[in-house]
Amino acid sequence: MFVQEKVISIAKPITEEAMTKLFCSTSPTKVAIADLGCSSGPNTLLVASELIKVVNKICDKLGSQLPEFQVFLNDLPGNDFNTIFRSLASFQKILRKQLGSASGAAGQCFFTGVPGSFYGRLFPRNSVHLFHSSYSLQWLSQVPDGLESNKGNIFMASTSPPCVLTAYYEQFQRDFSLFLKCRSEELVAEGRMVLTFLGRKSQDPSSKECCYIWELLATALNNMVSEGLIEEEKVNCFNIPQYTPSPAEIKSEVIKEGSFTIDHLEVSEVNWNAYQNGFKFNEAVDAFNDGGYNVANCMRAVAEPLLVSQFGEAIIDELFKRYREIVADRMSKEKTKFINVTVSLTKIG
């Protein structure tokens, strides 16, 4: 997804700084990197590639031997790990070419798939040097309890009662605190984490900057309810298990959990439409750039499994056709952006 590639690119200086400081302070002979929520698309190996290049550059400068790399790729068990594994040979070939070595870093890089939820332990104690995660930690471990009064909405919205917003926030607190605890046990001393959330600037968790894209999907669903294509009760009891935190909320949980110091905490923006984020594509692809096409496809990739589970497959094509039209209309009339919050952490002790 082009939006995610842009987000990784924006966070690249922070990620590279974390790896540089880690390597220069610990000088490990083996570097273990874990990408949490890696997915199986074109960006899956992007961060690992950039981090290997950073270490290679440091070693060239110091005239020291390159360490071995262990790259752990984590996602839920339903992720298509086989597609990732099939791409590894070509990835290593390209990496060798970029590094100018037939037997350099790429030949000393070992990959392991790690299926499982990151809201629990995934690795042995003191075994990982750097954790990376991009656009994954906004997903909660479950739909919060107590959302019965959120009827007509599928996420936090301007019309959601305060108890709904509280339920979402408390679920985020529990999940992120557990995440921090687990990662602190798995990291080596002075280990690092770079985490990018889909988040918000506002202190209001129902603000438009983080909830609008889901409100428009709710509009499409409710339009289909009004036409008798979807049962109203199915919409009323459907909620997205996601929370888009503010920088202050992330900082608060990190301080409260107590295992990490904060090196960077930064906010960035990317346009909903990836075509406006500085990427260039061929004319065939650009022909589809009607504003809503890319956003609808991106959201479909994210939300389709949840929607199919609740509403069945039969309505999906029609739902996203309507959603595309709604999004295109709104994008033509107003500026629409995703807000990203990136935090860089170092393990204490």
**pLDDT value for 62:** 86
Q: In what order do the strands lie in the sheet with 68-75?
A: 109-115, 68-75, 30-36, 128-134, 187-199, 337-347, 260-271
Instruction: For residue 167, give both structure tokens.
Output: 């339920």
**pLDDT value for 280:** 46
pLDDT level of residue 279 (50, 70, 90 thresholds): very low
Question: For the segment 114-167, what is each residue's pLDDT rounded down to a tens digit?
Answer: 999 999 999 999 999 999 999 999 999 999 999 999 999 999 999 999 999 999
| Amino acid letter, residue 236 | N
pLDDT level of residue 108 (50, 70, 90 thresholds): confident
Calculated CA dihedral for residues 266, 114, 105, 24, nearest 10 degrees: 40
Residue 286, pLDDT above cutoff 80: no
Q: Give the predicted TM-score (pTM) of the model.
A: 0.92
Cα distance between residue 348 and residue 136, in whole Å = 24
pLDDT level of residue 2 (50, 70, 90 thresholds): confident
**pLDDT value for 230:** 96
Residue 103, pLDDT above cutoff 50: no
Question: For the segment 130-139, what is each residue's pLDDT rounded down to a tens digit?
Answer: 999 999 999 9
Average pLDDT over residues 228-239: 96
Number of domains in the chain: 1
**pLDDT value for 102:** 42
Instruction: For residue 158, give both structure tokens.
Output: 């301007």
**pLDDT value for 281:** 43
pLDDT level of residue 93 (50, 70, 90 thresholds): confident
pLDDT level of residue 4 (50, 70, 90 thresholds): confident
Residue 201, pLDDT above cutoff 70: yes
Cα distance between residue 274 and residue 234, in whole Å = 32
Greater model confidence, 289 or 110: 110
pLDDT level of residue 274 (50, 70, 90 thresholds): low
**pLDDT value for 96:** 83
DSSP 139: B
Distance of CA 198 to the CA centre of its chain: 7
Residue 65, pLDDT above cutoff 90: no
**pLDDT value for 174:** 98
Task: Indicate the average pLDDT of the chain.
Answer: 91
- CB-neighbour burial class of residue 275 (10 A; exposed 0-12, middle 13-18, buried 19+): middle
Residue 291, pLDDT above cutoff 90: no
Q: What is the DSSP string of 275-331?
A: GGTT----HHHHTT-SSHHHHHHHHHHHHHHHHHHHH-STTHHHHHHHHHHHHHHHH
Residue 250, pLDDT above cutoff 80: yes
**pLDDT value for 122:** 98
Give the structural domain span for 331: 2-347
Average pLDDT over residues 87-102: 81
Are 76 and 115 in contact by the 8 Å Cβ rule? The answer is yes
**pLDDT value for 1:** 55
We report the CATH number of the domain holding residue 126 as 3.40.50.150
Question: For the segment 329-340, what is each residue's pLDDT rounded down to a tens digit?
Answer: 999 899 899 999
**pLDDT value for 277:** 55
